């Protein structure tokens, strides 16, 4: 792989990772209201999920899933229910804890939330099929295909880890501390709003 090709793939994946969406809300929510470590684990879980979708695109499974509307919409519905659940949980937990940076959240739960929110977003699969078709090699160039998968997951995880470090900086946290209850309420309703928008998209 040439440096030019690597740079192209890197920046394409970075742009995809930086796009605002439910994944960003989940990672930031865990980083702020659980702990910085929880946010990092969520970012790593999300990166792992991205790698799975990148792998599906590279080996051709993505095309099959994309053309099967029942499977595709089933995945979207699971994503909708998961986001709605997170919204309800966030609203219910508002004001029930003393704001602090080191609240406990299990490693498994932190990682799995990041993984679930990425793997239940089939739009990511469509994105990889569209973008990676410009780079994919079906002529047994295994090293290129492996790099496509590794770059996707690594860039995604690193972007969210950088985001976690930003939102958990002392300056940002001090501003959030006085408004934590209101922010939780906004985040909770944001989860619900996103889930309803996705639900409407299925039937429109």
pTM above 0.95, yes or no: no
Q: Is residue 141 in some structural domain? A: yes
Least confident of 19-23, 118-122, 128-132: 128-132
Q: Which domain holds residue 173?
A: 22-203
Nearest to 24 by CA among 7, 43, 5, 48: 43
Number of domains in the chain: 1
Nearest to 38 by CA among 84, 91, 100, 94: 100
Q: Is residue 2 in some structural domain? A: no
Angstrom distance (rounded) from CA 124 to CA 193 = 20
Angstrom distance (rounded) from CA 175 to CA 26 = 19
Cβ–Cβ under 8 Å, residues 62 and 56: yes
Q: Is residue 167 in some structural domain? A: yes
Angstrom distance (rounded) from CA 86 to CA 34 = 14
Q: Is residue 15 in some structural domain? A: no
Q: Give pLDDT tens digits for 39-85.
A: 999 999 999 999 999 998 888 766 666 677 787 778 778 888 988 98
> Residue 167, Cβ neighbours under 10 Å: how many?
16
Q: Is residue 43 in some structural domain? A: yes
Q: What helix, strand, coil percent values describe the chain, rounded to 5?
A: 80, 0, 20
Q: Is residue 44 in some structural domain? A: yes
DSSP state of 96: S
Higher pLDDT, 158 or 202: 158
Q: Is residue 9 in some structural domain? A: no
* Percentage of residues of the chain with pLDDT beyond 70: 87
Q: Is residue 8 in some structural domain? A: no
């Amino acid at each position: 792989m040439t440096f030019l090709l690597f740079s192209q793939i890197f920046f394409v994946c970075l742009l995809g990772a930086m796009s605002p969406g439910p994944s960003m809300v989940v990672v930031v929510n865990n980083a702020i209201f659980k702990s910085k470590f929880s946010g990092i684990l969520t970012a790593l879980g999300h990166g792992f999920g991205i790698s799975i979708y990148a792998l599906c695109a590279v080996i051709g499974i993505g095309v099959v899933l994309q053309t099967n509307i029942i499977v595709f919409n089933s995945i979207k519905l699971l994503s909708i229910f998961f986001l709605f659940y997170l919204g309800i949980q966030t609203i219910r937990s508002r004001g029930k804890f003393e704001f602090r940076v080191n609240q406990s959240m299990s490693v498994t739960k932190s990682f799995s939330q990041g993984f679930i929110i990425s793997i239940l977003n089939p739009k990511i699969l469509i994105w990889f099929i569209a973008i990676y078709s410009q780079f994919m090699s079906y002529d047994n160039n295994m090293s290129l295909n492996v790099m496509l998968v590794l770059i996707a997951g690594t860039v995604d995880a690193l972007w969210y880890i950088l985001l976690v470090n930003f939102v958990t900086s002392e300056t940002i946290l001090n501003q959030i501390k006085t408004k934590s209850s209101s922010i939780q309420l906004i985040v909770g309703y944001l989860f619900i709003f996103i889930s309803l928008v996705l639900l409407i998209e299925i039937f429109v």
